[in-house]
Structure 1
Amino acid sequence: MLLTDNPHWSELLLFALAPLVLFALAQFFRTLSTRLFSAAPVLLNNPTITKTMSGAAPTLPTTDEAWKAALDALPTAEANNGKIPAFFFAHGSPMLLRDTSPYPRFDSLKNQAGKGALARFLSVFGPALLDKYKPKGIVVFSAHWEERGQVLVTDYQENPLLMDYYGFEDEMYQVQFKSRGDSALSARVVAAVKEGGLKARTLGTMESRGKDGRARMPGTGLDHGVFVPFKIMFGDEFTSVPIVEVSQDESLSPDRNWEIGKTVDVLRSEGYLILSGGLTVHTFRDWSAWKEESAAPPYIAFHKAILEAVQVQDPSDRRIALSNLTRHPGFRLAHPREEHFTPIYLAAGAGEKGRTQVLDATYGQVTVAFGIEV
């Protein structure tokens, strides 16, 4: 009996072929997706922008030796027209203070856990900055402090710590990092922001900070985006240089935060170190995204696009390239909420003039110096 003798032969044929068709389609779209995402940096392929890339792509630092070499290559303030560069740095998470090796479920976070790549980088990053620049004070922005319509600046004598995380062991709430503020520095930051045309004031010593994207009620003090990396960078007690923290804008607008960064550019020539902490990948919807070996193609393509954008050496073209990153296919996957990415615009604004230097190109934890004028 022939198949065509069955009155339902067409349905039977479709049923038999359906798995093969679906398999072929799946393979096609998988290949197409990979090629599209690997080519995603074409968002940056404006002919003008491409010409301002720093020649052939250099080998970017991802090892202990390369990090040290990159930090050594930074110009002194004296050689840099009297200005300390501004830095976007990977501030990590509370996991930096933990050993995750006994917990297989945290394997994807091992690079950003205690003794991981980020902890090792931060341990040389902090001392290198202090040794090279001997800053009068540190002005730090964090992904974990947002305010609406105005810029707030801490004004503590001894900086309290805001334990703005939950679900950890008791010892994580006993973490110590002793540091001090400075009212004169706080006032100078406020004045600089106002001179730049924006509203600003100091935060009251007992005043709660903005909600910073958390569901819980706000508190006061330096958040974990500051005290966790600083503990590794500067040690448990660091009172030789004052630290003040500054809020980012709650709109999370790249342009708005860029403008905030521009207002503090003047402080770089006054001996102050500008640091802006966030992460280039920050999602709790896909734990595999935290590890390069398990991250899907869109995350890898986004990481490569970031490295391309920050290496655009013409300031105007670099701003375009950095702004275009928010339209990258991998952006919203890497940042369901972009509060950890906007600090790159604060640092880029503060170091708008001049060129850049990548200090750590490790996946998910990029650190960049902006405002190199030599």
Structure 2
Amino acid sequence: MSFPKTQTEWQAALAALPSNPDKIPAFFFGHGSPMLIAPIGERSRAMPSAMGPEGYLASFLRDFGPALRAKYNPKGIVVFSAHWETLGVRHVTDYGDRNPLLMDYYGFEPSYYGQKFESRGDRTLAERVVQLYKEAGQEARLTSVEESRGWDGRASPPRPGPGLDHGVFVPFKLMFGEQVDDVPIVQVSIESSTNPEQNWAVGKAVAKLREEGILVLAGGLTVHNLRDRKHFAEHQASPNVRDFEKAIPVAASQSELDQRKQLMFNLVKHDGFRDAHPTAEHFVPLYIAAGAGEEGDVKVINAIYSAPTIAFGI
């Protein structure tokens, strides 16, 4: 099977998405790292140049955001990030008129901490998300700006704080610009589990949002090994990691739901999984997007190594 990898190919895939605001697909996307917003010309921290500000992923994200806005004109965005895990209870941001940023990375140059991304939340949308989880028999609650949810690297030592984490504001800055006034953004925590079925259920619970004009995005990476960084570069990664990476779009593209679920669930048993993911938090957002869009077709929008984008529920 062949999947889009060049800009010409992914632009064609984006253009081919149906314009259907009444049933917006759910998307898994590669959210990258803070390197995406590095000053041009600055050497990345042992990350491949493809993941930097002039690389393939940054180019894709700059195409991806405007295409989503043009195709679906969403009333709101509900986003899941690999960088916010909770156990058993979904936490849903209720940040009001201004979403704070959680710069949850440490020891970077000052330019990384001067980043801006202005957006707002929405109480009605946040409460709707909580309602859907409760209707699905899952626990969920709102979290306010008064409640810490992680550690912010702007202080030394890092201080606790609220906010959209870098798995959201870094790619969104490239996708939507530095300011988003017209579309509220609400972030939801992922389930702290390697179990695919649990995070599939996290996504499935909010599937109705797609019929209510809400764009559901789940960000992560299909390769994330900070202990052995060679795997971030396709030409340096071990054969089992490359095989694992190639198996992902094949599994996700299966047209028959039961087969798709089985092949996707089996990915965590693949020989290359643990070399690609010593911890699973960057991989399981794939299951959230798949659960939110389990009914319908699937389309691989790009197959950038370690950072693909897949549309579920077309």
Q: 1:102 to 1:236 in 2, by over 3 A?
A: closer
1:306-343 deviation line (CA, Å, top 9, x unaligned): 12111111111101110000000000000000100000
1:354 and 2:296 are equivalent in the alignment: yes
Query: 1:84-135, CA deviations, whole angstroms, 9 ceiling, x for partnerless residues?
Result: 00000000000001157553763x4211111100000000000000000000
> Which residue in 2 is equivalent to 1:187?
127
Q: Which amino acid aligns with 2:267?
A: L
> C-alpha offsets along residues 51-101 of structure 1, whole Å, 9 cap, x if unaligned?
xxxxxx2x31111111110001111216xxx31000000000000011575
Q: How do 1:218-297 and structure 2 match up within 5 A? A: 218-297=160-239
Q: Tell me what 1:6 maps to.
A: none
What residue number does 2:17 align with?
Answer: 74
Deviation at 1:358, TM superposition (A): 0.2
**Which residue matches 1:92?**
32
Aligned to 2:269: 327
What is the one-letter code of the residue matched to 1:137? G
Is the Cα–Cα contact under 8 Å of residues 221 and 307 in structure 2 kept in the other structure?
A: yes
Say if 1:330 and 1:152 are closer, same or farther in 2 by CA, change over 3 A. Answer: same
Q: Which runs of 5+ in 1 are unaligned?
A: 1-56
Higher helix share: 1
For residues 248-270 of structure 1, the C-alpha deviation after alignment (integer angstroms, 9 at most, x for no partner) is 11224211111110010000000
Separation of aligned partners in 1, 2:29 and 2:278? 20
CA distance in 2, matches of 1:355, 1:143: 24
**Letter matched to residue 292 of structure 1:** E
The residue identity in structure 2 corresponding to 1:344 is L
Is the alpha carbon distance of 1:104 and 1:367 closer, same or farther for their aligned partners in structure 2, counting shifts above 3 Å?
closer
Cα gap change, 1:145/1:262 in structure 2, threshold over 3 Å: closer, same or farther?
Answer: same
- Tell me whether 317-326 or 287-296 shows the greater mean CA deviation: 287-296
The 8 Å contact of residues 264 and 350 in structure 1, kept in 2 or not, is answered as: yes
Aligned residues: 309
Task: Percent identity, please.
Answer: 53
C-alpha separation in 1, matches of 2:213 and 2:44: 45
Residue equivalent to 1:24: none
**For 2:298, what is the secondary structure of its paired residue?**
strand
Secondary structure of 2:287's counterpart equals helix
Q: Distance in 1 between matches of 2:266 and 2:160?
A: 32
Does residue 133 (structure 1) correspond to residue 68 (structure 2)? The answer is: no
Query: Which residue of 1 is the match for residue 154 of structure 2?
Result: none
SS in 2 for 1:248: strand
Distance 2:51 2:279 in 1: 20
The Cα of 1:210 is off from its aligned counterpart by 6.0
Alignment-derived partner of residue 148 in structure 1: 87
Q: Is the 8 A contact 2:134 2:140 kept in 1?
A: yes
User: Do the aligned partners of residues 162 and 102 (structure 1) sit closer, same or farther apart at CA in structure 2, a change above 3 Å counting?
Assistant: closer
Contact 1:149 1:249 survives alignment (8 Å) = yes
Residue pairs, 1:163-182, within 5 angstroms: 163-182=103-122
Change in Cα spacing, 1:101 to 1:286, as seen in structure 2 (3 Å) is farther
String of CA shifts for 1:136-181, please: whole Å, max 9, x gaps: 0000000000111211100112100001000100121111000011
SS of aligned partner of 1:339: coil
TM-score, length of structure 1 as denominator length: 0.80
State how far apart, in whole Å, the 2-side matches of 1:105 and 1:247 are: 27
**Ranges in structure 2 where 5+ consecutive residues have no aligned partner:** 152-156
| Structure 2 counterpart of 1:249, one-letter code | E
Look up the SS of the partner of 2:245 in the other structure: helix
Alignment partners' CA distance in 2, 1:146 and 1:290: 23
TM-score (norm 2): 0.94
Aligned residues of 2:193 and 2:280 also touching (Cα < 8 A): no
1:174 partner letter: G
Moved over 2 A (4+): 99-106, 215-219
| Helix, strand or coil at the partner of 1:208 | coil
8 Å contact from structure 2 (residues 23, 211) kept in 1: yes
Mapped to 2, the partners of 1:339 and 1:114 lie a distance apart of 24
Separation in structure 2 between the aligned mates of residue 217 and residue 160 of structure 1, nearest angstrom = 14
- Pick the structure with greater CA Rg: 1
Alpha-carbon distance in structure 2 between the residues aligned to 1:102 and 1:218: 29
Q: Does 1:123 align with 2:39?
A: no
Note the 1:197-236 alignment, pairs <5 A.
197-209=137-149, 218-236=160-178
Q: Which moved more, 1:224-233 or 1:202-211?
A: 202-211
